[in-house]
Amino acid sequence: MEEIIQLFIRSFEDTTFTSAERKAVRQLIEAYNPDRAKRDLLRSRIFEIVRTRLPHHPELAALDWLEAANKTLLDRDAAGPSDKVYFSPGDACLHAIQEMISYAIHSLHLCVFTISDDRITRAILAAHGRGVQVRIVTDNEKLYDEGSDIREFARAGIAVRVDNTPNHMHHKFALADGKTVLTGSYNWTRSAALYNHENILISADKAVVAAYQQEFTALWAEMTPFGER
């Protein structure tokens, strides 16, 4: 693992992640075959590399390097299908949501009926803490449900908007970096993982992602900033 980290450090010296470096990282990953926890550790280390060295490098070049390095760590399923499906009860849907949130680099746009699972909440707050632009659209009536974490997000400085109508904002989808969409019936609650028969679909199809991004943008413009109703 340390061999991979040192390769990343050497690569960042010129903020160019070359094809040869990408190939070397992939070969090392194939050799070590790190599990999800170790991959997450590697991802945290490349963010640390950028944070500690950013003052000495052009910001845009550093971000380009970070995106390329991060993508290399996520390319383990490049040969597989672009769409993935998960079902509950069980933790498959929860882990899919956590993973997508943890992979976000630039932006995380969440359009979710309710959020009350603290495990998801911690992932969202962590993304916000590492500088990801987080925006949340949610339902106004679910806002004050017992266990709802929306007010916690607002207190943390995350931008939150809610509908101000007698109808429900019932979507459950998320967009990461404008490149991946997660959607499905799964409610972002503990009961969904424990008891409910739910589903999640994750897609990187450009047309599908663009359609969901358009819907999020429209709802963001339409909804009311939380705390200003």
Which residues partner with 115 through β-bridges?
Answer: 188
Q: Which of 170, 197, 205, 206 is catalytic?
A: 170
Tokens of 185: 């019936």
Separation between Cα atoms, residue 65 and residue 51, nearest integer Å: 12
Task: At 87, list the tokens.
Answer: 């079902």
The SS3 of residue 77 is helix
Report which residue type is found at 81. P
Q: Is 172 labeled as catalytic in the residue annotation?
A: yes
Token readout for 77 is 């399923």
Query: Treating both helix axes as pointing N-terminal to C-terminal, what angle do 92-103 and 118-129 enclose, rounded to 10 degrees?
Result: 10
The answer to whether residue 163 is catalytic is no
- Considering 117, 139, 163, 177, which one is annotated as catalytic? 177
Q: For residues 74 and 98, what is the distance between their CA atoms, to the nearest angstrom?
A: 14
- Coil/strand/helix, residue 81: coil
**Rounded Cα distance, 32 and 2, in Å:** 11
Catalytic residues: 170, 172, 177
